[in-house]
Amino acid sequence: MGELQQKGQLAKEASYQLAVMTTEEKNKGLLAMADALETAMDDVMAANALDMDAAKANGKPQAFLDRLLLNESRIKDMADGLRAVAELPDPVGHVEEMWLNKDTLQIGKVAVPLGVIGMIYEARPNVTADAAALCLKSGNAVMLRGSGDAIHSNKKIAAVLSAAAEQAGIPAGAIQLVEDTSRETANEMMRLNEYLDVLIPRGGAGLIQNVVKNATVPVIETGVGNCHIYVDETADMQMAVYIIMNGKVQRPGVCNATESLLVHRNIAEKLLPMAAEQLLNAGVELRGCPETMQYISQCSQATVEDYATEFHSLILSVKVVDSMDEAILHIRKYGTKHSEVIVTNDYTNARKFQQMVDAAVVYVNASSRFSDGFQFGFGAEIGISTQKLHARGPMGLKALTSYKYIVNGEGQVRK
Amino acid sequence: MGELQQKGQLAKEASYQLAVMTTEEKNKGLLAMADALETAMDDVMAANALDMDAAKANGKPQAFLDRLLLNESRIKDMADGLRAVAELPDPVGHVEEMWLNKDTLQIGKVAVPLGVIGMIYEARPNVTADAAALCLKSGNAVMLRGSGDAIHSNKKIAAVLSAAAEQAGIPAGAIQLVEDTSRETANEMMRLNEYLDVLIPRGGAGLIQNVVKNATVPVIETGVGNCHIYVDETADMQMAVYIIMNGKVQRPGVCNATESLLVHRNIAEKLLPMAAEQLLNAGVELRGCPETMQYISQCSQATVEDYATEFHSLILSVKVVDSMDEAILHIRKYGTKHSEVIVTNDYTNARKFQQMVDAAVVYVNASSRFSDGFQFGFGAEIGISTQKLHARGPMGLKALTSYKYIVNGEGQVRK
């Protein structure tokens, strides 16, 4: 039996026990995991050093190295993250509705764990601890498949967490790392319907599309964000510049950063130079339509490709539009249904934009950077869903649950 | 451009308009569709006669012919079904929650249509009208792909419905039938991610497994039900027999019928002959474990295959178990996570069974036959989900919606 079959079976077994554990039992596990991670800090850093050396030898870029690196403060953050998850309310067992049907059967809709969750992710070893914590708290077993580039870090972290959890009474198999990081094994995992109830990919567009195309296990698609700001004719110009700057500059490498600016023709002449001044000062490269280039001298011509790109860096595409309708059509064509923003003071347009734009989060007069489980007040985030099935937008613990109906009768049968 | 691409594009366009239509506008379409269907009764029956002739010539069994047949009263029922859907509350626009986050952003979670729904189903032409109605009411466009065996019926019904809808102001493309019923086109439809937001297969296990294995569009798995009744030691015997009879006999061909009976050893000697008398009288064939055979003379020996089979007919597998835990393990091994029943008067066991059994609906002292959208009080049913993602158990209109977050600010940016 292969690694996946073996671990899948164990995870499935564990999931039945996890589903009926009390909040206190699960929290005990989380706190033990946090302590163990801090105790093992030197070992984790030593393992991480092996990954860092290999990555440097392979000439990986600085941003990659930065995501891969674990140091004392980051490991402390991971441990604190585990403790924070212990503090969150347990989503399991919540009765969303309960009613009597016409036969006086009492029917209740009760939140239950999904079962076994598969996570496929890139070289960010902190995801290993984050995902383990969120899955455990929501009563799910988890099979973690991180990138080969982080395999030493992941093995060490997973070993520390699962040993600590087991010692604290969490069933063996609740937290497992897939150690074979080959593409074949990843593909096999995507079709492990017998054991996995859901698959959550976290990473770049390539990884996510690969999972969506190959998986037969139900997938929650996450994270690709080609987010727009449309500045309407009636917008407060200062507010618009403030929101554009925050969306583009505050943290350009993440999925809720703003990638594209659409400006109503009637204010383009005034707004674009104002925005450009601050954007250029912050080192942002501008790629615009011919009309944009009239108002901003330091702006190259945008291609269709530019409008379709999630830059993840200090580049902004810009387009002048005739109307809000044109902006909505542009977003429909190029957007990824993640987060979209209108800046306006027109009540009708604000409402219409929110109704017509098909995205997980649609903002009026606020930065796209708020699309985040913590900012939304969920206390945690397993990812940001860009699909419509099951969960949409920032996903907290509740997104890791399903429900069952419990029906209480006294002998009713169907007529 | 192929049929799927063309229709997919039209459906997507229509879905944007449908998403913002008022309840009144959608109801007007539904009522017009109902009237048109009754007006076209003769044409629909003539088209159906072509399918019936072909099915008879191909030697299809009686049950198949019965599902395929449309007569006056069935067409009238379809029209009344459309009118009933018009009466239901509109799920779109419902704000499930709205709150202020720490930055005093107002965040609302609003129900929205899924977009474009693909339905793949077998030779039941009534599904064409049912699905069209439920998708329209919930603001979704629908691409219907029925079986080739019902193609004449489906083409006529879809043509009548979509023409009537369009004349009543529903956008063209809202209701479309895929006319090419080849396997290749079905497989292409399962990968039509560009246009389809979700795929709902309805039919036998073979159809559903084929969709689950081949689709890259998110799927809601429906309908396979190997449902058990476990009769606990403390059960009221009369109640148990009543529930067993209802589960097995009242309508054996459907997914919420009972297929397997598990009986606690301490009451087997008394319960099994009582149940057998009525079951045998009703023409039920019994296949049991050796101990069952001791108590029921007219009982053949059950194979492992029998325990794993959804008979869809008057056959019941039977097993004597030592304990509720054994029953739960048996259900875990052979169940399909559809509907499971315990008959008991033990409070602790009732609660434990409901907690431990992983199924969409878990009953205490009631028939599995209640797993149905109408019986649950949803007023409609698009299918019964046996997966855990998105929707589980009987699915009404709400299961055909997603949500979006609308966020209202006054210039907030992320710190």
Q: What is the pLDDT of residues B146-173, one digit of tens each?
A: 999 999 999 999 999 999 999 999 999 9
Angle made by CA atoms A296, A302, A305, in degrees to the nearest 5: 160
Query: Which residues are A314's β-sheet partners?
Result: none
Residue B85 in contact with residue B396, Cβ under 8 Å? no
Min Cα distance B123 → chain A (Å) is: 26
Q: What ipTM does this complex have?
A: 0.94
Q: Is A230 helix (H, G, I), strand (E, B) or coil?
A: strand
Contacts 24+ apart (CB under 8 A), A382-385: A382/A130, A382/A131, A382/A134, A382/A200, A383/A200, A383/A202, A383/A220, A383/A222, A383/A223, A384/A222, A384/A223, A384/A225, A384/A255, A384/A256, A384/A338, A384/A360, A385/A220, A385/A221, A385/A222, A385/A360
> Residue A245 is which amino acid?
M
Buried b (16+ CB within 10 A) or exposed e, A211-223: bbebbbbbbbbbb
Contact flag B366-A105 (C-beta cutoff 8 Å): yes
Q: Which two tokens stand for residue B164?
A: 């009537």
**What is the percentage of chain A residues whose pLDDT exceeds 90?**
94
Contact flag B410-A363 (C-beta cutoff 8 Å): no
Contact flag A376-B107 (C-beta cutoff 8 Å): yes
SS3 of A254-296: the string is CCCCEEEEEEEHHHHHHHHHHHHHHHHHCCCEEEECHHHHHHC
Q: Which domains does chain A have, with CATH numbers?
A: 3-221+387-407 (3.40.605.10), 227-373 (3.40.309.10)
Measured CA to CA, the distance from residue B325 to residue B400 in angstroms comes to 36
Angle made by CA atoms A252, A257, A262, in degrees to the nearest 5: 115
Mean pLDDT for the stretch of residues A23-32: 98
Mean pLDDT for the stretch of residues B198-223: 90
Top residue of B405, B408, B410, B415 to mutate, by most chain A CBs within 10 Å, is: B405
Q: What is the predicted pLDDT for the residue at B350?
A: 98
Top residue of A227, A278, A404, A410 to mutate, by most chain B CBs within 10 Å, is: A404
Q: Which two tokens stand for residue B133?
A: 């109605």
Residue B400 in contact with residue B114, Cβ under 8 Å? yes
B277-303 pLDDT, tens digit each: 999 999 999 999 999 999 999 999 999
| Placement of tokens 């992983």 in the chain | B358
> A348: which residues sit within 8 A by CB, 6+ positions away?
none
Q: Which residues of A touch B362 (CB under 8 A)?
A: 404-407
Reported as a pLDDT band with limits 50, 70 and 90, residue A223 is confident
Mean pLDDT for the stretch of residues A277-305: 98
Q: What is the predicted pLDDT for the residue at B339?
A: 98
> B374: which residues sit within 8 A by CB, 6+ positions away?
B380, B381
Residue of A nearest to B364 (CA): A408
Residue A86 in contact with residue A30, Cβ under 8 Å? yes
Measured CA to CA, the distance from residue A302 to residue A306 in angstroms comes to 6
Kindly tell me if the per-residue pLDDT of B205 is higher than 90: no
Of B265 and B208, more confident = B265
Q: Average per-residue pLDDT in chain A?
A: 96
Contact flag A370-B218 (C-beta cutoff 8 Å): no
